[in-house]
Amino acid sequence: MELRGSDRPEEGALVEIVPLMRGVSITSEIEVSDETRMVVRPAFQEYAEKLQVKPTDRVDVLWAGPEGGRSLPAQIGEILDGPEPRWALRIVGPAERSQRRQVVRAHVEIPVRASNGVEVISGQTVDLSEAGARVWFDGWGLPPEPGIRLDVTLELEDASLTASGEVVRMQRRGARWQVSVRFLDVPEKEQDRLRRRVFQALRVERVREAD
């Protein structure tokens, strides 16, 4: 017999929705959850719109179950109209144990520098998690292509944090570059600092939404 909350996330739970073709995740709240269908509300409207998901896109739903991380395969069925975006998901397979710890991502804007050992580029984060960041860089020289390793320095409020990273995606936007970076081998203590900054941003956003 499945434990409650292990076969699918319960209504009101916070989950991570991972569009498989985007390689990123977005924190969302479960509004409807039954055996075949879920309705989720992404936490940040602007960010959700930029992901440009569409019906038939496949996603993974990640959440913390009663016995650890769980993952459920689903498909975008419909983008629901309204003042805030909501995605209707169709469940396409059974829930499984997930080895991936639930990663929470938030809209965070902080200064960042990155170096490949030769050049240094500066910019500002768009969003942040303990696993990586999406960054706007002022473009000059050769752009950082996917697979390139970088040393990334984030200017957190308490002190800077430097981590090794790998470029996952790079898109030109005029004279700027939007770069998705995956962090590599970040010590647990530094991951805790990143998580604290992310949850601080989520708390601020929820207060704004409540006003």
pLDDT tens per residue, range 166-180: 998 888 887 889 999
Q: Are 130 and 198 in contact (CB under 8 A)?
A: yes
Sign of CA dihedral 194, 192, 14, 53: positive
In the structure, what pLDDT confidence band is assigned to residue 150 with cuts at 50, 70 and 90?
very high
User: pTM of whole model > 0.75?
Assistant: no
What's the pLDDT at 5? 65
Q: Are 37 and 90 in contact (CB under 8 A)?
A: yes
Q: Which CATH class is domain 14-97?
A: mainly beta
Closest CA to 191 of 110, 71, 104, 66: 104
Tell me the pLDDT tens digit for each residue of 62-93.
887 777 678 899 999 999 987 778 999 999 99
- Has domain 106-210 been given CATH number 3.40.50.2300? no
| pLDDT of 3 higher than 70 | no
Domain ranges in the chain are: 14-97, 106-210
